[in-house]
Amino acid sequence: MNISKSKALFAKAQNYIPGGVNSPVRAFRAVGGEPLFIKKADGPFIFDEDGNKFIELINSWGPMLLGHNNKMIREAILGAIDDGTSFGAPTAREVEIAELIVSMVPSVEKVRMVNSGTEATMSAIRVARGFTGRDKFIKMEGHYHGHGDSFLIAAGSGAMTMGQPDSPGVTKGTAKDTLIAPYNDLDAVKELVAANKGEIAALILEPVPGNMGLCLPVPGYLEGLREICTQEGIILIFDEVMTGFRLAKGGAQEIFGVIPDMTTLGKIIGGGMPVGAYGGKKEIMEFVSPAGPVYQAGTLSGNPIAMAAGLAMLRHLNDTPSVYEELNQIGTKLTEGIAKINRGLGLTYTMNSIGSMYSLFFTKDLVNDFYSAKTCDTVLFGKYFQAMLKRGVYLAPSQFESLFLSTSLTDEIINEILGAHKEAMVEILGL
Ligand SMILES: *Cc1c(COP(=O)(O)O)cnc(C)c1O
């Protein structure tokens, strides 16, 4: 595969951009090799600067639920551009998208638009603190909520200990208000709550975490968290930046029937433009400025082009419930196909999947939390990634990511992916 243009661009990029990329995982450090520079994408395919074509299963880390360069969304963006690109004043589209989100996401009675998932989670925690008058919050080990200071806390030191900063630049003062619990462990949360009685503003988690690879909540876990939070006056926040509008039009909360107090959204909500949102119960959201005292603002929030893209996406999902059946079928075909090939080769690697998300873990252990995810053979994953890339299938460049499927995956393309998977396994394992 000729990647000379990508190589030249990466070499040049490193002179001007830290590590040559604008978001770390793009640099391919976890899988070896150098990143491809992408020129364009269409449907299930992306094309790099050297003209190589790949089937890809990242879909911009989630947003491209309908595949790349979707005609309906492109036309909505082009239509909006004719009227100007930003006004810094209220627009009709913002009212429409807010009304639509409230109708789709069970927990959301009022919603504020922001520009990224990071902004959504940072703001939600601030509002929860303002509303409860408490400082601390609980997050789960291995869950990602964007790069806000208080979320970048190490996970290693056990449920009862205070968080330590995970990144230089996060102060100890910030870290001490972040309490860490292992995922899928209700008792750990109960212990933390008992040890910090009356001091915890919020509990935030990815209800279906996709940022340590895909894991699923054990039965009763989300319900148990709901009960604890209700009893203790803790704001339960579901970070559905990844799962929102993907697992169902109402996200993971719709599927599991557990309704949080607040929800953070991103990715699909912008149809590929930079958008995030946070929302929840009316009485909580009424604390947000200018209705209430908790300040949160954004020069480009609710940007007309971004809203046009998001509206086109959400309207389509709202009006076409069959999208989710279609996505589930695509997910089932691909993941069962991979599992079948693995069985045929005598392999027992763990496959976690739900709807249009999956992770193939290079471990035989069940993976349902940060510790079990850590048992994976990441070197072998790197080889698998490269072996798939060589065969024209572009996966997320890390074992600890979920893959995201889109409606653009036809049976023919799924079969191509399965063929590549079989060859890649035979190659990397020397079978
Ligand atoms: C991607 C992601 C974020 C951060 O969103 P950005 O738009 O990258 O800032 C937050 N939470 C979850 C669960 C995510 O997957």
DSSP code string of 208-258? S--BTB---PPTTHHHHHHHHHHHHTPEEEEE-TTTBTTTBTTHHHHHHT-
User: Over the stretch 224-282, which tens digit does the pLDDT of each residue have?
Assistant: 999 999 999 999 999 999 999 999 999 999 999 999 999 999 999 999 999 999 999 99
User: Over the stretch 306-323, which tens digit does the pLDDT of each residue have?
Assistant: 999 999 999 999 999 999
Strand pairing category for 357-361 and 350-354 = antiparallel
Cβ count within 10 A of residue 220: 10
pLDDT at 330 over 90: yes
Hey, which bits of 86-243 come out as E strands? 110-114, 136-140, 178-181, 200-205, 235-239
pLDDT given at position 415:
98
pLDDT at 361 over 70: yes
User: Over the stretch 343-354, which tens digit does the pLDDT of each residue have?
Assistant: 999 999 999 999
Hey, which bits of 302-395 come out as E strands? 350-354, 357-361, 393-394
The residue whose CB lies within 8 Å of the most ligand 1 atoms, and thus the one to mutate among 21, 125, 150, 242, is: 242
Ligand 1 within 6 A of 399 CB? no
pLDDT given at position 302:
98
Report the C-alpha gap between 129 and 121 in whole angstroms.
12
Q: Give the DSSP letter string of 276-298.
A: EEEEE-HHHHTTBTTTSSB----
Helix 411-429 × helix 322-344 angle, to 10° = 30
Ligand 1 geometric centre to CA of 404 (Å): 14
User: Over the stretch 141-200, which tens digit does the pLDDT of each residue have?
Assistant: 999 999 999 998 854 433 334 566 778 888 989 999 999 999 999 999 999 999 999 999
pTM for this prediction: 0.97
Ligand 1 geometric centre to CA of 429 (Å): 34
CATH 3.40.640.10 domain span(s) along the chain: 71-319
Report the C-alpha gap between 274 and 303 in whole angstroms.
9
pLDDT given at position 166:
76
pLDDT at 383 over 50: yes
pLDDT given at position 158:
36
User: Over the stretch 47-101, which tens digit does the pLDDT of each residue have?
Assistant: 999 999 999 999 999 999 999 999 999 999 999 999 999 999 999 999 999 999 9
> Which residues are 213's β-sheet partners?
211
User: Over the stretch 209-236, which tens digit does the pLDDT of each residue have?
Assistant: 998 999 999 999 999 999 999 999 999 9
pLDDT given at position 20:
96
Main-chain phi, psi angles of 119, to 5 degrees: -60, -35
CB contact at 8 A, 117 and 111: no
CB contact at 8 A, 180 and 116: no
CB contact at 8 A, 5 and 51: no
CATH 3.90.1150.10 domain span(s) along the chain: 4-69+321-429
Q: Does domain 71-319 have CATH number 3.40.640.10?
A: yes
CB contact at 8 A, 93 and 304: yes
pLDDT at 304 over 70: yes
Ligand 1 geometric centre to CA of 427 (Å): 34
pLDDT at 127 over 60: yes
- Can you tell me which atom of ligand 1 is nearest the CA of 119? 9
The residue whose CB lies within 8 Å of the most ligand 1 atoms, and thus the one to mutate among 22, 26, 122, 144, is: 144
Please identify every residue annotated as catalytic: 144, 239, 267
Ligand 1 within 6 A of 117 CB? yes
pLDDT at 332 over 80: yes
Ligand 1 geometric centre to CA of 1 (Å): 32
Dihedral sign (CA 210, 213, 219, 220): negative
pLDDT given at position 162:
53
Q: Does domain 4-69+321-429 have CATH number 3.10.129.10?
A: no
